[in-house]
Amino acid sequence: MKAIVLKTFGGIEQLSYEEIEKPEIKANEVLIQVKALSINPVDVKVRNRQAPLAEDLARYQPLILGWDISGEIIEKGAVVTQFAIGDEVFGMVNFPGHGRGYAEYVAASADQLALKPQHITHTEAAASTLAALTAWQAFDSYGKLRPTDRVLIHAASGGVGHFAVQIAKYIGAHVIATASAANKDFVLGLGADEYIDYRSTAFEKVLQPVDFVLEAIGGVNFQKSVQVLKPFGTIVTLPSGYTEADVWKAQEKQLHACYFMSVYSNGDDMRTIASLLEKGGLKPYISHIFEFDELGKAHQQLETGRTVGKVVVKL
Ligand SMILES: NC(=O)c1ccc[n+]([C@@H]2O[C@H](COP(=O)([O-])OP(=O)(O)OC[C@H]3O[C@@H](n4cnc5c(N)ncnc54)[C@H](OP(=O)(O)O)[C@@H]3O)[C@@H](O)[C@H]2O)c1
């Protein structure tokens, strides 16, 4: 099968289009013929060896990045009962771990997948995996967002943010979204109640206190976000690095909870995402679609830090 192997950590030139053996499945796994995959900042950070996960993955040879896939089941293991051959499924495979998603065929644990809703395409399904799960787990597993909450969502136009705005509105919360002026209409169109242009306005100076922050930038932005929380508020932060100063800032304030989260593969959560997609409570926005042999270009797009919604790769 064709796969994109990471030869060594580094630039996009290390992503190599190669012919390798199809994976063999274990009893609890299915083999998926991949129709589309999506990428996330973590793909770029692992490729550059900037994410802690890269150290765990360094031992794999060949190392194949990618976790977000949508496709069709072509083989199933002996103990898999929830899916049949021919089912169309999507999910975030083996995260954090060796996902091997940049490939024509992926072996995936059946309990990390959900049936793809019939009305959406594989590109839409592949987009609605890691980023959507992150938003859902931030509001449902790490924190508990309540319908009466005021929630501040940073980077609301990005992969995670655009799902987070929709999920927070689905829960019933009042959403304040940050983005640059170019993305104002986009985030308001997702359902945000208020919008702050983070480039022209210091959100910590204008915002009435909030109950919950989904923090996607890190550093000073984290510390300013703690300032705008009500006592007993919750902050969930996404970037992998945080400093002792961040922890002190959070401890100074009497918070209900402060999480430095890490999204994890989970079939129940994938089924929730599938159900939200089915009910219309969630819709992925895909700004860029690349061909499989253009995966390096897809990484370059994410590296701009300016992506609106999701970047997807078709097979
Ligand atoms: N810990 C975890 O489990 C986890 C899971 C998922 C993601 N993450 C991390 O969370 C971060 C966001 O991920 P993502 O997939 O949403 O990234 P993304 O799609 O690349 O985010 C791009 C968006 O961020 C916006 N943005 C950039 N700087 C901003 C700022 N200072 N304030 C407000 N918006 C800003 C940009 O909007 P403008 O062009 O308008 O500025 C752009 O639309 C990344 O660092 C990622 O690694 C962590």
Residues 266-311: tens digit of each pLDDT = 999 999 999 999 998 899 999 999 999 999 999 999 999 999 999 9
Proportion of the chain above pLDDT 70, given as a percent: 100
Cα 153 from Cα 143, distance rounded (Å): 13
Q: Is the pLDDT of residue 251 over 90?
A: no
Q: Which residues, 6+ apart, have CB-to-CB distance to 122 below 8 Å?
A: 35, 36, 70, 71, 88, 90, 116, 314
Cα 94 from Cα 67, distance rounded (Å): 7
Architecture of domain 2-128+284-314: Alpha-Beta Complex (3.90)
Ligand 1 close to Cβ of residue 159 (< 6 A): yes
Residues 124-160: tens digit of each pLDDT = 999 999 999 999 999 999 999 999 999 999 999 999 9
Ligand 1 close to Cβ of residue 225 (< 6 A): no
Question: Which atom of ligand 1 is found nearest the CA of 310?
Answer: 19
Tell me the residue type at 152.
L
Cα 139 from Cα 200, distance rounded (Å): 28
Predicted local confidence at residue 253, as pLDDT? 81
Predicted local confidence at residue 75, as pLDDT? 98
pLDDT band for 242, please (50, 70, 90 cuts). Answer: confident
Architecture of domain 131-259: 3-Layer(aba) Sandwich (3.40)
Residue 23: φ, ψ to 5°: -70, 150
For ligand 1, the distance from its centroid to the CA atom of residue 291, given in whole angstroms, is 23
Cα 183 from Cα 191, distance rounded (Å): 13
Predicted local confidence at residue 245, as pLDDT? 81
Ligand 1 close to Cβ of residue 51 (< 6 A): no
Four-residue CA torsion sign, 109, 93, 48, 297: positive
For ligand 1, the distance from its centroid to the CA atom of residue 161, given in whole angstroms, is 7
Ligand 1 close to Cβ of residue 114 (< 6 A): no
Q: Is the pLDDT of residue 119 over 80?
A: yes
Four-residue CA torsion sign, 214, 220, 224, 227: positive
Ligand 1 close to Cβ of residue 160 (< 6 A): yes
Ligand 1 close to Cβ of residue 183 (< 6 A): yes
Cα 252 from Cα 230, distance rounded (Å): 13
Residues 11-20: tens digit of each pLDDT = 999 999 999 9
Q: Is the pLDDT of residue 217 over 80?
A: yes
Q: Is the pLDDT of residue 198 over 80?
A: yes
Residues 174-184: tens digit of each pLDDT = 999 999 999 99
Cα 28 from Cα 88, distance rounded (Å): 17
Taking the domains of the chain in order of start, what are their residue ranges? 2-128+284-314, 131-259
pTM over 0.95, yes/no: yes
For ligand 1, the distance from its centroid to the CA atom of residue 243, given in whole angstroms, is 19
Residues 64-111: tens digit of each pLDDT = 999 999 999 999 999 999 999 999 999 999 999 999 999 999 999 999
Question: Which atom of ligand 1 is found nearest the CA of 182?
Answer: 40
Q: Is the pLDDT of residue 258 over 90?
A: no
Q: Is the pLDDT of residue 250 over 90?
A: no
